Structure 1
Amino acid sequence: MRQDKTLILVVDDDEAVRESLKFSLELEGVEVGLCQAGQELFSHPRLAAAKCLVLDFKMPDIDGIGVLQTLRERGITLPAILITGHATAALRQRAAEAGAIDVLQKPLLGTVLFDSIRQATRAS
């Protein structure tokens, strides 16, 4: 019997980052959907099937925290991990208040992202 792969949605405005995250996560055996902006995520056809979100903090249309707040307002509470180039204590606090389960600083070395996803999907 075939077991479906876990779907992770990655939202980042940088194509190189999106593609590299997709490649590394697929090596770990998960299915990855990509969005280049928060607005695109809101209408993603498989949003309801996702087990975890990976959101860039800085994006041109709406930042990662704004994406989380909008999702929460719509009753969507799936686990989310915020990635950023500069993880301050204030940003971590804001992200936690918006519902992020983790804030990871780029560059994402080793298995730090997958480990956080694994923990998030176990808890959900």
Structure 2
Amino acid sequence: MKSPILIVEDDTAVRDSLRMVLEIYGYAVEVFASGEALLTYKNLGGSRCVILDVNLPGASGLETLARMHAEKIAIPAIVVSGRANRDARAQAEKLKALAFFDKPIDIDALLTTLHALGT
């Protein structure tokens, strides 16, 4: 089985539609509604990449990414936001996110980013 792409998104409709699109393109996907739920995933370090929404309940996507770095969980990250600002983009860059996408997500650009990972 292929290593999954992890989606962390609290909006059920966005989470489910993104999961469906990626599955149509042949990706294995696991979904989470919060950063805390993601961090309890047993195969986190063995995943292809994580797509993190900035605005999550509890720990934000950027806080979750920072925690992953602190815990030495090194998987590629893509950050998405419906309300992006310059500070969020700068923080994502500092945390070495591969890409930062505004919502609605440009699926072609996302697929290009995933393809560049060799996934």
Q: Give the TM-score normalised by structure 1.
A: 0.88
**Residue identity in the other structure for 1:117:** L
The correspondence for 1:51, drawn from 27, 48, 67, is: 48
Identity over aligned pairs, percent: 30
The correspondence for 1:76, drawn from 67, 73, 76, is: 73
Q: Give the TM-score normalised by structure 2.
A: 0.91
Contact 2:45 2:74 (C-alpha < 8 Å) held by counterparts: no
How far apart, CA to CA, are the structure 1 residues paired with 2:85 and 2:56?
17
Task: Name stretches of at least 5 consecutive residues in structure 2 with no aligned partner.
Answer: none
User: Is it true that 1:38 corresponds to 2:23 in the alignment?
Assistant: no
Question: How far did residue 6 of structure 1 move?
Answer: 4.0
Contact 1:57 1:65 (C-alpha < 8 Å) held by counterparts: yes
How far apart, CA to CA, are the structure 2 residues paired with 1:62 and 1:48?
19
| Matched length | 119
User: Is it true that 1:20 corresponds to 2:41 in the alignment?
Assistant: no
- Specify whether residues 17 and 92 from structure 1 end up closer, same or farther in structure 2 by C-alpha distance, changes over 3 A only: same
Task: Name stretches of at least 5 consecutive residues in structure 1 with no aligned partner.
Answer: none
Corresponding position of 1:89: 86
> How large is the Cα RMSD of the aligned pairs?
1.6
**Residue identity in the other structure for 1:111:** D
